[in-house]
């Protein structure tokens, strides 16, 4: 395959690039990334000289560039997005710009270049929030996004489906639960808490910490995406989950225990506005149709993830100091 990956310098995209280059040495990858605060080329340092990999610094909003790149590929895997709920509460405009308008530009270029196969990465947050005992989300759950982030992802999902129905663009969509693992930007719960604890800084639990998320190791997400890209049914949506529902307090205590720290490190802070209570996923469809299910248990995955952050201190210290944004200049010249 010749794959255009958008947002490949972010958390899941960089894990996916590593996965594809390991599994399919004959595939070629173009990684189009704008290097926002969340993009970090240090995530890809080990493969930057791989002849089957090329980085292009650019914005998915650049229609001319996107159109050019589309000519050289047969498949798009679209990760690029503004991805943090808290940021979308403070400033929603960038979310609509990248997640909605940016997706539209990619769809249009895919259509205009011979209907390039298009896989769209989305989130379970488009389905809204569940009560404690409600059945988990599945592919038929009505959309009910609550945050500007999830509303923008929902819009992009609708556009992707519209291009399938209107233009017969060969699309698939995946809606995945919360990921954790290596290279996650330390604004998200797991790396934020681990790194704070390494530095003996308190960890901010929003409200009472009773909110529930379903956690999936990023390597399992990458395998699921790959299955869908290669074997999925065109026009279909697949829900991906980890079978690992946990309250935020459970996650907090697991991390505290694993790091040998006590409850005095917890700081209950003001709750997130409109904080969704619970996300949970029924992934029977991808399990039955594509034989995918998670390989990594939460207990294994979190232990390995904590070790990864402990062993990669330079990676996250560079993020904290802002030095990671200089990496592009050193490697590729001025932005
Ligand atoms: P991330 O924030 O770590 O990375 C996003 C990447 O996109 C960055 O490299 C950034 O530079 C790039 N980018 C942003 N705007 C761009 C633009 N206009 N043009 C080109 N590149 C741009 O995000 P992530 O956590 O890796 O998430 C990737 C995708 O997976 C997103 O679409 C997100 O909605 C989805 N998702 C994430 C999770 C999760 O738990 N992290 C769960 C389900 C779905
Ligand atoms: P997050 O990693 O931001 O993912 P999402 O909101 O997309 O699910 O947050 C996961 C959960 O952790 C969510 O319920 C909010 C909560 N949270 C905290 O309690 N404290 C924090 O500092 C952060 C970043 C999140």
Residue 23 scores a pLDDT above 60: yes
Query: What is the number of the ligand 1 atom nearest to the C-alpha of 7?
Result: 7
Q: Distance of CA 135 to CAs 25, 161, 173, 269, Å? A: 41, 25, 21, 30
Report how far ligand 1's centroid is from the alpha carbon of 261 (Å): 31
Residue 301 has pLDDT above 80, yes or no: yes
201-240, pLDDT tens digit by residue?
A: 999 999 999 999 999 999 999 999 999 999 999 999 999 9
Among left, alpha and beta (phi > 0; psi -120 to 50; other), residue 247 is beta
Cβ neighbours of residue 233 under 8 Å, at least 6 residues apart?
A: 172, 289
C-beta of 242 in contact with ligand 1 (< 6 A): no
pLDDT in tens, 174-185: 999 999 999 999
Atom of ligand 1 at shortest distance to CA of 36? 11
pLDDT confidence of residue 209: 98
Query: Is 125 annotated as catalytic?
Result: yes
Ligand 1 test: best mutation among 8, 9, 11, 35, most atoms within 8 Å of CB? 11
Whether the predicted model's global pTM rises above the 0.85 cut: yes
Could you tell me which of 290, 311, 175 has the C-alpha nearest to residue 231?
290
Give the contacts of 214 (CB within 8 A, at least 6 positions apart).
124, 136, 177, 178, 241, 242, 243, 244, 245, 279, 280, 281
Residue 47 is predicted with a pLDDT of 97
pLDDT in tens, 256-266: 999 999 999 99
CA distance 232 to 46: 30
Q: Strands 203-206 and 75-78: what pairing? A: unpaired
Q: Give the model confidence (pLDDT) of 84-106 as tens digits.
A: 999 999 999 999 999 999 999 99
Query: Residue 10 C-alpha to ligand 1 middle, in angstroms?
Result: 6
Tell me whether residue 149 is one of the annotated catalytic residues.
Answer: yes
Asked if 178 contacts 123 with a C-beta cutoff of 8 angstroms, the reply is no
Q: Which atom of ligand 1 is nearest to the CA of 35?
A: 11
Give the DSSP letter string of 268-296. Answer: EEPPPTT---B--B--HHHHHHH-----S
* Model pLDDT, residue 330: 76
**How many residues make up the chain in this entry?**
335
Rounded Cα distance between 65 and 59, Å, is 8
Cα–Cα dist 182/325, whole Å: 18
| 3-state helix vs strand vs coil in the chain, percent to 5 | 45, 20, 35
- Substitution candidate for ligand 1 out of 56, 57, 81 with most atoms within 8 A of CB: 81
Give the DSSP H or E segment for 167. Answer: helix 148-167
Q: Which domain holds residue 113?
A: 2-332
Q: To 10 degrees, what angle do helices 148-167 and 103-112 make?
A: 20
How many domains does the chain divide into? 1
C-alpha of residue 262 to centroid of ligand 1, in Å: 33
Angle at 109 between CA 226 and CA 335, to 5 degrees: 85
Closest CA to 14 of 35, 34, 41: 41
Ligand nearest to the CA of 11: 1
Residue nearest to atom 8 of ligand 2 (CA): 178
Query: Coil, strand, or helix at residue 229?
Result: helix
**pLDDT score of 326:** 86
Instruction: Quote the pLDDT of residue 333.
Output: 65
Say which CATH number the domain at 142 has.
3.40.50.720
The reported pLDDT for the residue numbered 334 is: 54
Report d(CA 20, CA 134) in Å as an integer: 36
Write out the H or E segment, with its range, that includes residue 238: strand 237-240
Q: Residue 335: pLDDT above 60?
A: no
3-state secondary structure of 334: coil
- Report the chain's mean pLDDT, rounded to a whole number: 97
């Amino acid at each position: 395959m010749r794959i255009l990956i958008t947002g490949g310098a972010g958390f899941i995209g960089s894990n996916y690039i590593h996965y594809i280059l390991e599994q399919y040495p004959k595939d070629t990858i173009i990684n189009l990334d704008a290097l926002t605060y969340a993009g970090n080329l240090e995530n890809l340092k080990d493969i930057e000289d791989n002849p089957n990999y090329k980085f292009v610094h650019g914005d998915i909003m650049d229609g001319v560039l996107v159109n050019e790149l589309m000519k050289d590929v047969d498949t798009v895997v679209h990760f690029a997005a503004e991805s943090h709920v808290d940021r979308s509460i403070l400033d929603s405009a960038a979310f609509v710009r990248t997640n909605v308008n940016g997706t539209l530009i990619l769809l249009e270029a895919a259509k205009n270049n011979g209907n390039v196969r298009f896989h769209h990465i989305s989130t379970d947050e488009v389905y809204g929030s569940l009560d404690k005992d409600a059945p988990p989300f599945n592919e038929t759950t009505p959309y009910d996004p609550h945050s500007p982030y999830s509303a923008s992802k929902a819009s992009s999902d609708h556009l992707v489906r519209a291009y399938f129905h209107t233009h017969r663009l060969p699309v698939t969509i995946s809606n995945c639960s919360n990921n954790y693992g290596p290279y996650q930007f330390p604004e998200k719960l797991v790396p934020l808490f681990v790194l704070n604890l390494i530095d003996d800084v308190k960890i901010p639990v929003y409200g009472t910490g009773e909110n529930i998320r379903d956690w999936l190791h990023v390597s399992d997400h990458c395998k699921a995406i790959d299955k869908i890209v290669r074997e999925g049914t065109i026009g279909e949506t697949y829900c991906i989950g980890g079978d690992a529902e946990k309250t935020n307090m459970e996650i907090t205590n697991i991390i505290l225990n694993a790091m040998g720290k006590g409850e005095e490190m917890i700081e209950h802070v003001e709750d997130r506005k409109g904080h969704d209570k619970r996300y949970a996923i029924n992934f029977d469809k991808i399990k039955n149709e594509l034989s995918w299910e998670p390989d990594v248990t939460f207990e294994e995955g979190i232990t390995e993830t904590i070790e990864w952050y402990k062993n990669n201190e330079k990676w996250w210290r560079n993020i904290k100091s802002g030095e990671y944004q200089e990496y592009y200049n050193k490697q590729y010249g001025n932005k």
